[in-house]
Amino acid sequence: MRNGGQVLVQSLVALGAVKAFGVPGESYLAVLDALHDTQGQLDFVLCRNEGGAAFMAAAWGKLTGAPGICMVTRGPGATNASIGVHTAMQDSAPMILFVGQVGTDMKGREAFQELDYRAVFGSIAKWAVEIDQVDRIPEILARAWVTATTGRPGPVVIALPEDMLTSLTEVAPLTAPARVAEAAPDAAAVVEALALLAQAERPVILIGGSNWTDAGRAALQGFAEASDIPVLAAFRFQDQFDNFSPVFVGEAGVGMLPHVKALIRDADVILAVNVRFGEMTTDGYTLLAVPSPVQKLIHVHGSDREIGKIYQPVLGIQAGPNGFAAALVPVRGGWGAWRAKARAAFEASFDVPVQPSPVDMVAAMAHLRGLLPEDVILTNGAGNFTVWPNKFFKFGPKARLLAPQSGAMGYGVPAAIAAKVAFPDRVVVCFAGDGDFQMNCQELGTAMQAGAQPIILIVNNGIYGTIRAHQERNYPARVSGTTMQNPDFVALARAYGYHAERVARTEDFAAAFDRALASDTGAVLDLDISPEAITPRQTLSQMRAAALAARDKA
């Protein structure tokens, strides 16, 4: 006989879970008790806020391909964690959130911290379920694992009534995960897709999503290079294709560069592999007409729910990305100049003016591009500062980017901690704005306790930069609610055991970063950035002046 908490934890171990991120709560004490016996197999990473814990689990899923496990208590714990569930959904990242729940004898009375989790998470999770029979814990957990990892991966939420965890049962825990083969492409459809590409004058490949393997990415790269077709990455998936390849031409994401917009708009055939067509990748759904694009769209995805969801393709293929990539054979056409021009524009995008700032991020990024190891992991949250890791770094085949498609502030620090938990020997660098950093800076305590301390670069300009930019464009010279007074970030980081420095000049950055790399306690570098350096190519004053001129002209 085992209690439900023991069945759940032993089943997680059998499925292959090795870390669970969470904040303890009295609603799932039986699970915490069972975790006492799995130390070294399945460890509980103690977090400081459920939002940070959920971000860590979402990042774990995106980085490893295995569901990130998060455990939180009922009510406020669950609502705090909802930001990570939403992020995992928009990132197509596998995740399982376990939430404590009131006992079944109290349900429906608005008991202390009671929520209807199916209703709360129904629109932001791939599946939300509540266990109401202890004997069904293995069944539901097995289904949750498969649901989170197959098709379009995503988050699953499982509510755990307290009495389900303490009740005894003879049911056996799971012994192994299900093995689900990737959906293979229809052979005739592959032939048709290749024929459409061969007939094109301006073809483009658009790549994104989760569930890629190294072999799958290599196969797609080999096809693209042999066919000389330009490759674009969907929003924040540029780490899924070797940026040093001559066919890689940029990222279709927020702050989309003009040559990328032109490529998508002017293409006659687009092969979209493993992509969900979000707002950022389509420039607000303007680059392709809804629902029937002018471009001939070939949409390949492991989930039938994504094909035709927004854009009607001339050919939809339900298949996993790796099997589809392996089935491709090179095609040739007269588009070599089209690809070469796009690659030249991508390379030219790294050439921008010296920034009007005490620390010039153009120079800092150039230094990092030449210094960081090939298997580096970069993370970021949300804000104008994300242009630096997203647009001014080249990701080789071993480098990874953890950045939220949901645009969630506060993601970068927890994601970096999760990356160090997963790969303690790899260099992990988090880019965080000063506002973004303060969303989850308390998780430095989690990092200290777990011995998982990344390097954090605070791009500190004293403003909520993205909102300030919108403010100056729409309400120029009327600043409201976007200027911050910040704490001493160096003192704060040192209180959490980090090496920390304030970097006040561009010429001091290289030496400071060397010290950060050498530190065995992680490091926080507080970079002095002028608010004027709001974007790489336009200052805040220029933005305001343009808006005032347009208003006066009107």
Q: Residues in the chain with pLDDT < 70?
A: none
What pLDDT is attached to residue 222? 98
Residue 483 in contact with residue 476, Cβ under 8 Å?
no
**Cα–Cα dist 82/84, whole Å:** 5
Three-class DSSP category at 362: helix
Beta bridge partners of 130: 159
Tokens in use for 545? 């002046």
What pLDDT is attached to residue 30? 96
Residue 403 in contact with residue 432, Cβ under 8 Å?
no
**Burial status of residue 94 (CB atoms within 10 A of its CB: 0-12, 13-18, 19 or more):** buried
**Cα–Cα dist 47/416, whole Å:** 13
**Cα–Cα dist 525/455, whole Å:** 8
What pLDDT is attached to residue 103? 74
What pLDDT is attached to residue 392? 97
**Cα–Cα dist 99/286, whole Å:** 39
> What is residue 305's DSSP assignment?
T
Residue 407 in contact with residue 83, Cβ under 8 Å?
no
**φ and ψ at 85, to 5 degrees?**
-65, -45
**Cα–Cα dist 62/418, whole Å:** 11
Beta pairing class for 428-433 and 400-402: unpaired
What pLDDT is attached to residue 108? 76
**Cα–Cα dist 450/433, whole Å:** 24
**Cα–Cα dist 162/167, whole Å:** 9
What pLDDT is attached to residue 110? 77
What pLDDT is attached to residue 105? 74
Residue 87 in contact with residue 406, Cβ under 8 Å?
yes
Domains and CATH numbers, the chain: 2-169 (3.40.50.970), 187-348 (3.40.50.1220), 361-553 (3.40.50.970)
**Cα–Cα dist 191/370, whole Å:** 42
State if pTM tops 0.95.
Answer: yes
Residue 333 in contact with residue 358, Cβ under 8 Å?
no
